[in-house]
Structure 1
Amino acid sequence: MKTYPTNEIKNVVLLGASGSGKTTLAEAMAFDGKVIDRRGSIETDSTLSDYTDIEHIYKRSIYPTLLFAEYNGYKLNIIDTPGADDFCGGLFSAFKVADVGVMLINAQNGFEVGSEIQARYARSHDKPIIAVINQLDSEKASWEASLDSIRAASQVTPVVVQYPVNPGPDFNAFIDVLLMKMYKFKGDTGIREELDIPAEEMERATELNRILTEAAAENDEALMELYFEKGVLTQDELRSGLKLGLAKRDLIPVFCASGKRDIGAKRLMEFIINVAPGPLKAPNFVTVDGREIEPDSNGPTALFVFKTTVEPHLGEVTYFRVVSGKVTEGMELVNSKTGNKEKISQLFAVAGKNRVKVTEMMAGDIGCTVKLKGTRTNQTLSTPGSNIEIDPIRFPEPRYRVAVKAVKTGEDEKLGELLNRANFEDPTILVEYSKELKQIILQGQGEHHLNILKWQLANINKMEVEYFAPKIPFRETITKVAAANYRHKKQSGGAGQFGEVWLVIEPYQEGMPEPSKFKIDGKELQVNIKSKEEVALDWGGKLVFYSAIVGGAIDARFLPAILKGIMEKMEEGPLTGSYARDIRVVVYDGKMHPVDSNELSFKLAGRNAFKEAFKKAGAKIMEPIYSVEILVPSDKMGDVMSDLQNRRAMIEGMSSDKGFERLVARVPLSEMYRYSTTLNSLTNGRATYSMKFSSYEQVPAEVQDKLLKAYADTDKDE
């Protein structure tokens, strides 16, 4: 395989809803690009893209797959992505390294759920889009309805480049209004015949050519003047205008195809080569410190890692894009994040499950290597001393969480290793052992996302696991001032234990004045602060600890022990065992014994005095509140609003977004379990949402009563 220079490389990501035909089109492109000598099919589990066992079971893409085609002297790197939103992490990775998106539309369904969601992702990543209305050989295929659905849903103007002559089971020809030619295909061989446009189609083709020409001319003043002057544009002038419009996302060229019968794949690749932005015209990669990196093959080498996998017989496989310079076998690079050196022992061009060995790759190209020592997704390998670290992929926030444990006892360590590997391969799977909840918490993009992981653990790693509802990380705090004292006294032969602590507690708020007096049970208590210690709590909030001891009632050396006792109780709150936060404690009196007082005595006295004061201080449970943003079709708005109200949500805002409503709400985390499943059911999969931690707020009284009762029952069981 030859080494392709930067100006002969195009990087494409295939988008579209599940079932839109991305994998079959990718197969046709690879076949026409001479990468394979026969096309596989999803039905026979023989495609380049969907080559894992789980994809064979579901008959659709679960993971993003890199493949390539060599066509007309160019290399097209193609990333086939999953259509289901649960696996959008792979799409975000692909957007980072691809320069243009090809959106497939199922001609039977039009611009459907997955199309809408993925078009929004493309817009947020500023990726230009080419639309392909696919499966025009289907019984219920409708070109016009599909085109109308694109017009209705898209925020960018669709412009017809091709239209089918005979959509339906007999589909075998389309007219290209850019070239003003008709292409006719023989069976499903991909062999095409270039013909003149029939007389009965000339009027329609001419009108669409005029619309296409005007759309191209609108992107360049010189072209517009030329068009006004001559009334026509040459094909090169047309392409020049389309290049500008596509790059600026001002238009969506629309093509027609049947990927399964290899109709339209060649013309699509020709258009990508001639019009779509490549590495030299696409926006440059940016470093973490804001520098743009030119795709210069003579510059310092920089590889950005966008995907890592672990494969049988190969071990770790690292997928990268050459951002700058060139990479060769045997080259030594530095990981910009860790500072560690990595040797590139082998280089491969990737065709799905197949890998083609190469000796070098130039800026703009995409490939993989194996057996790196410690380089992960989102990291950069670069020439020593170049200090290039590419800005990382921003993966979506998790939307679904479960607790997980091994079915068999004694397999916790193995489970931890497997879950960490899952995160290594898919950064949208987050794994955390919660010391607070005493659970392993898994987070992902949806129920199906984590169920696929469960299948992998059981069938590939032979590890049976159980998913269940995770506990909620509640917090405890107080709402008023309270005082308490506690004497710890123990005498059982030999040295005794004695410590007595008097303290007062109150709610803490940032910026409040220092304490000087308190009113407790109608009596005023004056305090004279001697020392202060602020503890920023690992779980959020603060503990502020004051000493107001006078007359040496408690020796200063025992104060750290008192604080330690209080901290122990803060880690296991008196109400539900949850972490406590945002409290000020003033120790103002106490007693000690010249012989029997020690640190343990004062730790226990401080802990128990704090516990008693806490219960008298209007103790409240606080719950995590998440900011949830939902994009929902207008006709499903009522159902979604009603469901949110049942989840104790507070609606904060609504706005319209091209046929969708954007809802912003604050929702307790305890009410979000399995929300992705419910939302899919309510909207037939047409809505999507994101969620992010916002704050802790007090739970309603009736909820607190239920939590206290549940904790009391747990205590009894234990």
Structure 2
Amino acid sequence: MKIFDDKHIKNVVFVGAHQSGKTTLSETMLFEAGLINRRGTVENKNTVSDYHEIEHDRGTSVFATPLHTEWRNYKINIIDTPGLDDFVGEIISSIRVADTILTVINAQHGVEVGTEIIWNYIDKYQKPTVFVVNQMDHLNANFEMSFRSIKNLVGNNAVLIQYPHRIDGAQCIIDVLKMKCYKFGPEGGKPEKLPIPEDQKERADMLHNELVEKAAENDEGLMELFFEKGTLNEDEMRMGIKAGMLNHELFPVFCVSALKDMGSGRLMGFIDNVAPAAADLKQEQSVEGKTIERKKEAPTALFVFKTVFQPSLGQITFFKVKSGEVKVNDKLVNSRNGETEVLNQLFIMDGKNRETVNKLTVGDIGASLKLKHTETNDTLHTDKAPVTIRPIQYPASRTRMAVNAKNKQEEEKLSDALKKIHSQDPTVVIEYSGELRQLILGCQGELHLATIDWSLKNNYGIEVEFEAPKIAYRETIQRSSTASYRHKKQSGGAGQFAEVHLKIEPWKEGMAEPQGFNIRGKEEIDLPWGGKLVFYNCITGGVIDLRFLPSIRKGIIEVMESGPLTGSFIRDVRVMVYDGKMHPVDSNDIAFKIAGAHAFKEAFLNASPKLLEPVQEVTVRVPEETVGSVMTDLQSRRSIIQGIDSIDHFQILKCAVPEAELHRYSTDLRSLTQGKATFSTVFSSFKAVPKHIQQDLVGSHDK
């Protein structure tokens, strides 16, 4: 296969809302370039990019799929991404390695919620972006509405390169960069090139002049030429458009019908000779603060942006060459774990099809098989030039579920499978909660959860059950209490004897030392689950030997690890051990541990114990038209609204919500707002559970 340099490699990522036509457009571009002889369709389950069994089952893209084609001496790497934000991890990782983003808009709907969400990530990474209004052949297509929605999204820097027009019923495209009219037959394909019709000349001239001005704005030299000549030629306009795209200040807008193959060839031509190449992008800084040299002579550095498991092949690792060149049998070091990987095979991937190559150069995208120690987000480098590419920051989980294997003997197998799924998709978060005794799975939504379930069943042979995670409650007290306990056991020979008298009080930061005690020692213990135990030695007269105090404390902590109300952790208590008795023969550590535990438990139950629940600080970004419904729903979840701000047409609600009320909130919020709202959560504090809820929880625990 021909090796292209980074000036002739274009990495283009297709993004857009669900059913905007990204997969169809990528299929058409492969057909136009001659890579495939026949175009497949999503309905017939025979497209190059949607090849996974789960995608055939669901009729929609689930994975980002790398493809490639060649067009007029350029190599175009295409990554076709899913349109549903449940799979946002696939979208973000693809955006991260893109040179240009191609945002596909459904001409029937304009900019949709999914596009708005994706745009936030494009804007964050400041990637050059082209908008493509697709399905212009559809009876309900509305190009003008679609263009207005693009301008509402990105502002006046959205500029038309093309707009649709009909001549005697035939679909045409007016191109204001080339100032030509492309007329298509009923089945699309290669168009007839015509002069711009007389009735469109005025509009085309106006749009051409607007494009000239926008192009000139992005380069001082071009601006001087514009003032000197009053216009720019086509080559000069291309330079200005590219500069504007690189500055993230100009967004060209095209129109196509991917299904009818109308306009895709012209779009590919624009990608070839205008859209930024790998060599045009700004230099990156490594985690170590060094500039990553984008030269083929530089030391090799690969960034792994995607891994995928195929039953027939194992793990496929996709990477972008950030520096240098990579050759077959190269040995590279993983910067995360120090492990050396041997790249025995190098491929260019087109869906499930592999094309073997001997090397790949800087700026290119490729794949390898059976790397043992490498995951998504890793950097591979030469041993003499260590470097770490800045990792992708993935969004926090929006849905959390407890998961367990239906067959209890497969629990270890389930854990291993979930670790592999996480290594491929970092938005799948796995943690075992020893406190809750549950394996907790975090993901992006119900559909994401369903695909994980599918993968566990079909790829790993594990049937699982999902349930709501338990809540990590805490127990504490509201007043002081005293108690004593005598432990006496005689069973022939040496017995057990210990007596402990203690007082407990609620603890809070900065409180005064306890009164009425002769304090001889104090320990402040930061509990692993939060809060404190403050333990005082107030023994006088030697009634309990000092060597038994650690055992008393150990017994207290064992009770605190499983509180008497609900079995939850106890926190924020101080204990004064002030009296007791011991026996010269029968007293030992075990006896005092038991006596201390029983005395503490009795005192705790007599100190007005209360249950605390974790409260999350929730920020909801909601469109103005649905803010009332969202606030009503939040109030039903025992939330406290702490503030409301406005940004554009959105309201930003900040509120405190008990964690117990947030189960399935992601699904409910989508339903209330047609998917237009987003939210984030962060732990805030523990607050007292309302009395009636505490009674129910204690009652359930007693059963």
TM-score normalised by structure 2 residue count: 0.95
Q: 1:236 to 1:588 in 2, by over 3 A?
A: farther
Deviation, structure 1 residue 29: 1.9
Aligned equivalent of 1:337: 336
| Matched-pair contact (CA < 8 Å) for 1:516–1:526 | no
Q: How does 1:271-310 map to 2 (within 5 A)?
A: 271-310=270-309
* Cα distance in structure 2, aligned partners of 1:527 and 1:364: 74
User: 1 CA distance for matches of 2:256 and 2:231?
Assistant: 27
- Contact kept, 8 Å, 1:69 with 1:76, in 2: the verdict is yes
Q: Secondary structure of 1:261's match? A: coil
Is the 8 Å Cα contact of residues 516 and 528 (structure 1) preserved in structure 2? Answer: no
1:293–1:498 Cα change, 3 Å: same
Q: Distance in 2 between matches of 1:263 and 1:592?
A: 94
SS of the counterpart of 1:552?
A: coil
Does the alignment pair 1:164 with 2:188?
Answer: no
SS at match of 1:539: coil
Distance 1:204 1:516, change over 3 A: closer
Of 223-232 and 572-581, deviating more is: 223-232
User: Could you tell me which residue of structure 1 aligns to residue 660 of structure 2?
Assistant: 670
Q: Distance in 1 between matches of 2:217 and 2:277?
A: 22
> Residue type of the partner of 1:137?
D
Supply the distance in 1 between the matched residues of 2:92 and 2:525 (Cα, whole angstroms).
39
Match of 2:700 in 1: 710
Deviation at 1:542, TM superposition (A): 3.1
Change (3 A) 1:92 1:507: farther
Deviation at 1:226, TM superposition (A): 2.6
Of the candidates 617, 620, 636, which is equivalent to residue 627 of structure 1? 617
Matches within 5 A, 1:378-397: 378-397=377-396
> Superposition pairs for residues 12-23 of structure 1, below 5 Å?
12-23=12-23
Q: Kindly provide the CA deviation profile for residues 378-411 of structure 1, in whole angstroms up to 9, marking residues without a partner as x.
A: 1111110322012211111001111222223422
**1:680 paired to 2:680:** no
Q: Is structure 2 residue 519 aligned with structure 1 residue 528?
A: yes
- Give the C-alpha shift of residue 516 in structure 1: 3.6
Q: Residue 569 of structure 1: CA displacement?
A: 1.5
Partner of 1:489: 488
Aligned to 1:57: 57
Q: Using a 3 Å threshold, how does the CA distance of structure 1 residues 156 and 56 change in structure 2: closer, same or farther?
A: farther
Q: How many Å separate the matches in 2 of 1:189 and 1:174?
A: 12
Pick from 646, 665, 668: which aligns with 1:656? 646
Q: Is the 8 A contact 1:156 1:250 kept in 2?
A: no
Greater CA deviation, 352-361 or 464-473? 464-473
Q: Aligned partners of 1:167 and 1:312: how far apart in 2?
A: 52
The match for 1:364 is: 363
Per-residue CA deviation, residues 71-114 of structure 1 (Å, 9 max, x unaligned), is 12122222111111111111111122113211111001111121
The answer to whether the Cα contact below 8 Å between 1:432 and 1:442 also exists between their aligned partners in 2 is: yes
What SS does the corresponding residue of 1:293 show, helix, strand or coil?
coil
Contact between 1:69 and 1:75, CA under 8 Å: does it hold in 2? yes
**What CA distance in whole angstroms lies between the structure 1 residues aligned with 2:485 and 2:462?**
50
Match of 2:431 in 1: 432
Tell whether 2:562 aligns with 1:566.
Answer: no
Name the aligned partner's letter for residue 644 of structure 1. L
Distance 1:171 1:288 in 2: 55
Contact 2:404–2:465, Cα closer than 8 Å, also in 1: yes
Listed as ranges, the gaps of 5+ residues in structure 2 are none
Shift in Å at residue 188 of structure 1?
A: 4.2
Deviation for aligned residue 1:540: 2.6
Distance 1:291 1:692, change over 3 A: farther
Report the counterpart of residue 75 of structure 1 in structure 2: 75
Q: Return the alpha-carbon distance in structure 1 between the equivalents of residues 127 and 570 of structure 2.
A: 46
1:521 paired residue number = none
Change (3 A) 1:555 1:70: farther
- Tell me which moved more, 259-268 or 650-659: 650-659
- 1:515-550 deviation line (CA, Å, top 9, x unaligned): 6433xxxxxx22324242x43333233333343334
1:488 and 1:670 map into 2 onto residues whose CA distance is: 40
Q: CA RMSD of the aligned region, Å?
A: 2.1
Q: Does 1:604 align with 2:594?
A: yes
- Off by >6 Å, runs of 4+ in structure 1: none
Distance (Å, rounded) in 2 between the aligned partners of 1:295 and 1:541: 51
Q: Distance in 2 between matches of 1:527 and 1:288?
A: 56
Partner residue in 2 for 1:354: 353
Give 5+ residue unaligned stretches, structure 1: 519-524
Which residue matches 1:325?
A: 324
**Which residue does the alignment assign to 2:633?**
643
CA distance in 1, matches of 2:102, 2:483: 69
- The farther-off stretch of 666-675 and 258-267 is 258-267
Q: CA deviation at 1:607?
A: 1.6
AA in 1 matched with 2:131: A
Higher mean C-alpha displacement, 647-656 vs 298-307: 647-656
In structure 2, the CA distance between the partners of 1:347 and 1:636, relative to structure 1 (3 Å rule), is same
Q: Report if the CA contact (8 A) 1:500-1:591 is conserved.
A: yes
Find the counterpart in structure 2 of residue 35 from structure 1.
35
Per-residue CA shift, 1:449-508, capped at 9, x if unaligned? Answer: 102222233344332222222211112223343333322221122221112223333334
Write the letter of the residue equivalent to 2:514. K
Q: Residue 333 of structure 2 contacts residue 382 of structure 2 at CA under 8 Å; is this kept in 1?
A: yes
Q: Tell me how far 1:252 sits from its aligned partner.
A: 1.7
1:575 is displaced (CA, Å) by 1.5
Aligned to 1:471: 470
CA contact (8 A) 2:517 2:538 kept: no
Once residues 547 and 380 of structure 1 are traced to their aligned partners in structure 2, the CA distance between those partners, rounded to angstroms, is 54
* Counterpart amino acid of residue 394 in structure 1: Q
User: Cα 1:708–1:117, aligned 2, differ >3 Å: closer, same or farther?
Assistant: same
Structure 1 residues 99 and 622: alpha-carbon distance in aligned structure 2, compared to 1, 3 A threshold = farther
- 1:122 aligns with 122
Which residue matches 2:608? Answer: 618
Whole-angstrom distance in 1 between the partners of 2:239 and 2:118: 27
Q: Distance in 1 between matches of 2:188 and 2:354?
A: 25
* Paired residues for 1:205-244 under 5 Å: 205-244=204-243
Matched ranges for 1:576-595 at <5 A? 576-595=566-585
Task: After TM superposition, give the deviation of residue 36 of structure 1 in Å.
Answer: 2.1
SS at match of 2:280: coil
CA shift digits 1:611-656 (9 cap, x unpaired): 2222233322221222222222211111111111111122233333
Q: Report the Cα offset of residue 283 of structure 1.
A: 3.2
Counterpart secondary structure, 2:409: coil
Say yes or no: does 1:110 pair with 2:128: no
Q: Which residue in 1 is equivalent to 2:505?
A: 506
Kindly tell me: are residues 181 and 531 of structure 1, through their superposed partners in 2, closer, same or farther at Cα, counting changes over 3 Å? Answer: same
1:2-21 aligned within 5 A: 2-21=2-21
Match of 2:514 among 508, 514, 517: 517
Length-normalised TM-score, structure 1: 0.93
Rounded to whole Å, the distance in 2 between the matches of 1:34 and 1:500 is 89
After TM superposition, the structure 1 stretch with the greater mean CA deviation from structure 2, 422-431 or 658-667, is: 658-667
How much has 1:189 moved relative to structure 2? 5.9
- Distance in 2, Cα, partners of 1:226 & 1:506: 81
Q: Residues of 1 paired with 2:653 and 2:121: CA distance?
A: 17
SS in 2 for 1:640: helix
What SS class does the counterpart of residue 57 from structure 2 fall into?
A: helix
* 1:522 equivalent in structure 2: none
72-81 or 482-491, which deviates more: 482-491
Asked if 1 retains the 8 angstrom alpha-carbon contact of 2:522 and 2:534, the reply is no
CA distance in 2, matches of 1:155, 1:570: 58
